[in-house]
Amino acid sequence: MIKDNQKMLNRIHVLLDVCVIVIAFLLTYYLRFYSPLANLPLLKAEKGTFYALDVYVRRSIILIPLFLFMYYYAKLYTPKRGKRKWLEIFHIILANTIVIAFFSATLYIQKEFHISRGFLGVFYITNIILCTTARMTVTYILRAARKRGYNLKHVLMVGYSRAAEAYIDRIFANPQWGYYIHGILDDSMEVGTIYKKVPVIGTISGLDAFLSKMTLDEITITISINEYEKLENIVAICEKSGVHTKFIPDYHNFIPTKPYTEDIYGLPVINIRNVPLSNTYNRLLKRSVDIFGALFALVLFSVPMLLVAFLIKLTSKGPIIFSQIRIGKNNKEFKMYKFRSMELQPENDEKKAWTTSGDPRVTGIGKFIRKTSIDELPQLFNVLKGDMSLVGPRPERPFFVEKFKEEIPRYMIKHQVSPGLTGWAQINGYRGDTSIRKRIDHDIYYIENWTLSLDIKILFLTIFKGFINKNAY
pLDDT digits 0-9 by tens, 59-107: 778 888 888 888 888 778 776 555 566 778 888 898 899 988 888 888 7
Contacts of 312-320 spanning 24+ positions with Cβ under 8 A: 312/339, 312/340, 312/363, 312/365, 315/363, 315/364, 315/365, 316/340, 316/343, 316/363, 316/365, 317/344, 318/343, 318/344
Confidence of residue 274 (pLDDT cuts 50, 70, 90): confident
Record: fold of 153-253: Rossmann fold (3.40.50)
What is the per-residue pLDDT for 2? Answer: 42
pLDDT digits 0-9 by tens, 178-236: 788 999 999 888 888 899 889 999 999 889 888 888 888 889 999 988 888 889 999 98
What is the per-residue pLDDT for 38? Answer: 57
Distance in angstroms (rounded) separating the CA atoms of residues 389 and 289: 9
Please report, for the chain, the start and end positions of each structural domain, with discontinuous segments joined by +.
2-147, 153-253, 280-466
What is the per-residue pLDDT for 139? Answer: 77
Average pLDDT over residues 386-408: 91
Q: pTM, whole model, 2 decimals?
A: 0.54
Report percent pLDDT > 90 for the chain. Answer: 25
What is the per-residue pLDDT for 393? Answer: 94
For the ranges 51-55, 82-86, 90-94, 370-374, the one whose mean pLDDT is highest: 90-94
Q: How many CA atoms lie within 13 A of 376 on its CB side?
A: 23
pLDDT digits 0-9 by tens, 415-451: 989 999 999 998 888 876 677 888 998 998 899 889 9
